[in-house]
Amino acid sequence: MSVRRLAEQQPESFAFTPENEALCAKEIAKYPAGRQASAVLPLLWIAQRQNGGWLPKPAIEKVAEILGLPRIRVLEVATFYTMFNLAPVGKYFIQFCGTTPCVLRGAEAIKAVLQRRIGAAGQVTADGLFSWTEVECLGACCNAPMVQINEDYYEDLTPENFEALIDNLAAGRPVKKGSQIGRRTSEPLGGLTSLRGLYGVDGLSGPQTYHGPPSEGDESAAESSFAAQDEPPGEPATERLNQERRHRKGQPLDSIVDTGTRRTGVAVSQPGVKASRKAAKSESSSLQNGEASNSSEQESED
Ligand code: FES
């Protein structure tokens, strides 16, 4: 990590807008009396957002003044956390992930695009649109390589789709956040490998095909498809599950002893457990009856 210093050129002053002043007051009110210093991070963040993505020295001093802290204390915080930029950034501030998983997936090629299109790290393009910096893992390694632009992630980058992304941003065209190759969240590239029945993937015959997540109301269909796999032919599986549910509704948890659970999360009975429970119950009642008759026999003998 490089040394973090305040920018050489600083504005004369900084004042929060009335809206941001109210926001600061709201943040400060979250902490008990005497602990307002804890609001230093959100206040610096509000100041940075108001100032186009970077923190000038007067803003740091303003936060110190509001919180009644020595300036050096706030300066320490601002220079420690890399989420605070201490020099101007472009309208589109790109945080490029240069950690191992992204590098293994081609981050170096993305970095080369940044250097060619924008220039060195920390440099703002002449039109003020772009600047970039290298950061450590941003926690989206499964969709590596990736960058964060302002507050959004752009993942599954290739030099080609990343250049297209930069072109679209520069031209003011809408861009797609998240995966740039159509991957849904961080699912495997070749489709789901688990929970396939639940999501409508036919794992039983033919090539696996991902049909997308279930829409609302489809879950019961997926459920019955599970049930159909497990039930003997001819048994109405869904009806049996529904009966189980009706049966259990309103019962205290500890009264449910048969805890076989389907992948759907629906508790279903295990015949073996149920039978042994029944046997234990009848044994205990016959014992009680036996004791009762024994004692009555004893009484009559007396
Ligand atoms: S290594 Fe790049 S997001 Fe984790």
Q: What are the tens digits of pLDDT across the range 186-209?
A: 888 877 777 766 655 554 444 444
What ranges do the domains of the chain cover?
18-80, 92-179, 251-302
The pLDDT score that the predictor gives to residue 283 is 53
Same topology between domain 18-80 and domain 92-179:
no
Distance CA 129, CA 34 (A): 42
- Ligand 1: centre distance to CA 201 (Å): 29
46 lines ligand 1 (CB under 6 A): no
Residue 144 beta carbon below 6 angstroms from any ligand 1 atom: yes
Q: Are 133 and 122 in contact (CB under 8 A)?
A: yes
Of 16 and 225, the structure prediction assigns the larger pLDDT to 16
Amino acid (1-letter code) at residue 30? K
CA 188/CA 140 separation, integer angstroms: 13
Please give the helix or strand (H or E) that residue 10 lies within, else none: none
Binned at pLDDT 50, 70 and 90, residue 280 comes out as low
**Distance (Å, rounded) from C-alpha 198 to C-alpha 24?**
46
**Over 60: is that where the pLDDT of 185 sits?**
yes
Is there an atom of ligand 1 within 6 Å of 110 CB?
no
Contacts of 282 (CB under 8 A, 6+ apart): none
Give me the percent of the chain exceeding a pLDDT of 70. Answer: 64
Sign for the pseudo-dihedral over CA of 276, 278, 283, 287: positive
Residue type, 72: I
pLDDT value at residue 262: 39
Which atom, in ligand 1's list, is nearest to the CA of 138? 3
Q: Which strand (E) or helix (H) includes residue 153?
A: strand 152-155
With a cut of 90, say whether residue 45 has pLDDT above it. yes
Ligand 1: centre distance to CA 25 (Å): 35
Peptide bond into 145 cis (omega under 30): yes
Contacts of 179 (CB under 8 A, 6+ apart): 143, 155, 156, 185
pTM score, whole prediction: 0.64
User: What is the CATH topology of the domain spanning 18-80?
Assistant: Arc Repressor Mutant, subunit A (1.10.10)
Substitution site in 94, 96, 99, 156 for ligand 1 pocket (most atoms within 8 Å of beta carbon): 99
Integer Rg of the chain from CA: 32
Compute φ and ψ for 260, nearest 5 degrees. -60, 130
CA pair distance 109, 201, nearest whole angstrom: 35
Cβ–ligand 1 distance for 141 under 6 Å, the answer: yes
Distance between Cα 142 and ligand 1 center (Å): 8
Place of tokens 């009856």: 289
| Domain 92-179: assigned CATH number | 3.40.30.10
Residue of 101, 114, 98, 97 lying closest to 162 (CA atoms): 114
Q: Out of 96, 133, 136, 138, give the residue to mutate to test ligand 1, the one with the largest number of ligand atoms within 8 Å of its CB.
A: 138
CA of 187 to the centre of ligand 1 (A): 16
Q: Does the beta carbon of 138 sit less than 6 angstroms from any atom of ligand 1?
A: yes
**Burial class of residue 258 (count of CB atoms within 10 Å of its CB; 0-12, 13-18, 19+):** middle
Higher pLDDT, 237 or 140: 140
